Amino acid sequence: MSELVALHTQAVRGPLVTPYLTALGRALVAGRTSKAFPDRRPLEATLAALAPELHQGLYDEVYVDARSGLPNLASFTRVLADREVGIESLTRLESQGELDARRGEAEIFERMARKRRYFEALRGLELAPVDRHRVLLRRHEPEQSRASFKVELTKLLADGCYVRVVIDLWQRSSVWAQSLVRLDDGGEVAEGTEALQGTVYRFANFDAETLFVRLHEIDGVTVERVQRGQIGPVLWAIPGEGVLHRVAEPGSGALARAWSTCLPDLATGPPQFVVMFASDTAANDVREEASNDPLSPLLGDQLSSHERARYGILRARHPFKVYKDRKFVVTAAVRPVVEGLCAAAGTKNLIYPLA
C-alpha cells in the first residue's frame, strides 16, 4: 500500500490515502505559514482533490515523493490536468440528475456520475501550481529612472519539496535594454524577462543568499531582500494491517536518523507525522546573521577555513545578512524526537502539535 514504484516515487494506496492527505492538510493549517511560503489554500485544495472523497474513487492511489513525503509532480499534474479537461467535459456531459438516474443501467453511467461530481468540485478549486512566476510593481520613480519590483516564484522542487521565493529588488532604467523586469508603456504592469525567470528558477533550489548575490551582481540591479519559504520534507508513518507504512527515502540527516530509530515504537497506534516549514531570508534589514534551523546552519559555518575566507570577501561586498529558521508540526509520539534535535543543535524552534 506504500511501495516504491519508480525513481523516488511511492504509491500510497487504499486505506492509507485518506489519513495521509488529511494529516497533511491539517499540518498546513497548524504550520501557520506566512506569505514567504507557498499559498496554503491552493495546496490544501490540491490535497483535497487527491482524496477519494473528492475524486469519488476514480483513482486508486496517490503518488508521493519518497524523499520529501509530499505528493509528487505526477500527483500535482493529475489534478491540474483533470481540472482543465473536466471544465471542458462538463459542457458535454449530461446533467448530474440525468447521470444519477441512469446509474443502475450500466457501470459507465455510475462512473460518469462520479466523474461529473469530481469535475464539478474541481471547477470551484484553485489548485496549487507546479510552477508559477509573478512580478509585481512595488514602486515606480520615473524621475529617478528606477522602479522597485517584487518577484515571486512558486516551485515544486526536484527533491519533492514545495517552495516559494520572494525577491524585492530595484532596477535602474539606464540598463533596461537588458533588464530583468519590463514595464508596460503605462509604467504600471511589470513582467519578468525570461532571463530573470530562468535565473530565479534555477537558483530556487539553493539558499536565499546565493540568489541574492547572483542577482545583486547584475548591473543596475539592487536587491533588498530574498526570502525563501519551503514546505517539506515530511516524515510520515501510518500503521496498517501489521505493517508500518512510512516515507521510503527520508535521507540520512540527523532528524531522519532519529526518526528511523523511533520507528519500532510507532508500529502500532495512530499515524505519526513530522512536517517541516523552513524559511531562509537574505536581506538588508536583517539585524543579526543567525540560523535557528537545526538542519541547516549558515553557509559560512559549513565551509572550511580556507573557503570561509573567500566567502568573507564575497560577503563583504554585499550589505545583507541571513536568517534561517524552521518550524515543525508534529504528532505527539514523535515530538520528543524533534525536541531532541533542536536541543542538540541549540535552536529554539516553534513546534506545533498535530492532532
Partner 1 sequence: MSENASKLNLGALDRQVAYSGEGISVRSLEDNIAAERESQNGKVEELKVLRERNVEIQSALAEEVGKLRKFGDYMDGTAVAGGFWAGFKEIISYVPGFRNIAISRRSIEELLKQQYQISARRVKEAAEYVDTLKRSEQDLYKEIDRINQKILEMARNEAAAVDFVLELKALVDAIEAEKQAVEAGGIEFRDLDAKQDRARALLAQHSANLQLYGAAEERYVSLKENTRKLVETIRNLGQDISQYTTAASIKLDMASAQIQAIGTAADASVVMLELKRSLDVMTESMNATTQFVSDTQVFFRRNLDTLITELETFDETTTKMLDANLAESRQIEDERIAAAIEKARRHKQTAGVPSA
The binder of partner 1 chosen from 26, 182, 191, 201 (CB under 8 A): 201
The binder of partner 1 chosen from 23, 36, 112, 208 (CB under 8 A): 112
List of E strands, the chain: 4-6, 9-13, 61-65, 131-141, 146-156, 162-172, 181-183, 190-192, 221-240, 243-246, 272-283, 290-292, 321-330, 351-353
CB of 198 to partner 1, least distance (A): 4
Asked whether position 106 contacts partner 1 by CB under 8 A, the answer is yes
Q: Which is nearer to partner 1, 161 or 276 (CB)?
A: 161
Radius of gyration of the chain (CA): 23
Tell me which residue has cell 543579526: 288
CB of 267 to partner 1, least distance (A): 28
Cβ pair 295, 254 in contact under 8 A: yes
The binder of partner 1 chosen from 73, 90, 248, 303 (CB under 8 A): 73
CB of 89 to partner 1, least distance (A): 6
**Number of residues in contact with partner 1, rule: CB under 8 A?**
39
Please choose, out of 195-203, 226-234, 251-259, 279-287, the segment that lies near partner 1 by the rule CB under 8 A. 195-203
Identify the DSSP state of 206: S
Q: Which residues contact 194 (CB under 8 A, 6 or more apart)?
A: none
Asked whether position 9 contacts partner 1 by CB under 8 A, the answer is yes
Asked whether position 63 contacts partner 1 by CB under 8 A, the answer is yes
CB of 106 to partner 1, least distance (A): 4
Please choose, out of 1-9, 139-147, 163-171, 207-215, the segment that lies near partner 1 by the rule CB under 8 A. 1-9
Q: Which is nearer to partner 1, 80 or 136 (CB)?
A: 80
Distances in whole angstroms, Cα of residue 346 to Cα of each of 66, 180, 207, 278, 321: 29, 40, 21, 16, 20
Asked whether position 210 contacts partner 1 by CB under 8 A, the answer is no
Applying the rule CB under 8 A, the residues between 262 and 281 that interact with partner 1 are none
Burial of 191-218, coded b for 16+ CB within 10 Å and e otherwise, reads: ebeeebbebbeebbbebbbbbbbbbbeb
Alpha-helical regions (H) of 68-106: 73-90, 96-101
Applying the rule CB under 8 A, the residues between 315 and 344 that interact with partner 1 are none
Asked whether position 56 contacts partner 1 by CB under 8 A, the answer is no
Q: Which is nearer to partner 1, 92 or 306 (CB)?
A: 92
Q: Which is nearer to partner 1, 204 or 266 (CB)?
A: 204
Burial of 162-175, coded b for 16+ CB within 10 Å and e otherwise, reads: bbbbbbbbbbebee
The binder of partner 1 chosen from 23, 27, 40, 115 (CB under 8 A): 115
Cβ pair 191, 257 in contact under 8 A: no
> Rounded CA gap, 293 and 348, in Å?
9
- Among candidates 26, 255, 6, 35, which has minimal Cα distance to 164? 35
Asked whether position 13 contacts partner 1 by CB under 8 A, the answer is no
Work out whether strand 190-192 and strand 162-172 pair parallel, antiparallel, or are unpaired: unpaired
Please choose, out of 106-114, 225-233, 238-246, 318-326, the segment that lies near partner 1 by the rule CB under 8 A. 106-114
CB of 111 to partner 1, least distance (A): 7
CB of 47 to partner 1, least distance (A): 17
The binder of partner 1 chosen from 101, 158, 243, 344 (CB under 8 A): 158
Q: If residue 110 lies in a helix (H) or strand (E), which one and from where to where?
A: helix 107-123
Binding site residues, partner 1, CB under 8 A: 5-9, 63, 65, 72-74, 77-78, 80-82, 84-85, 89, 92, 105-106, 108-109, 111-112, 115, 130-131, 156-158, 194-195, 197-199, 201-202, 205
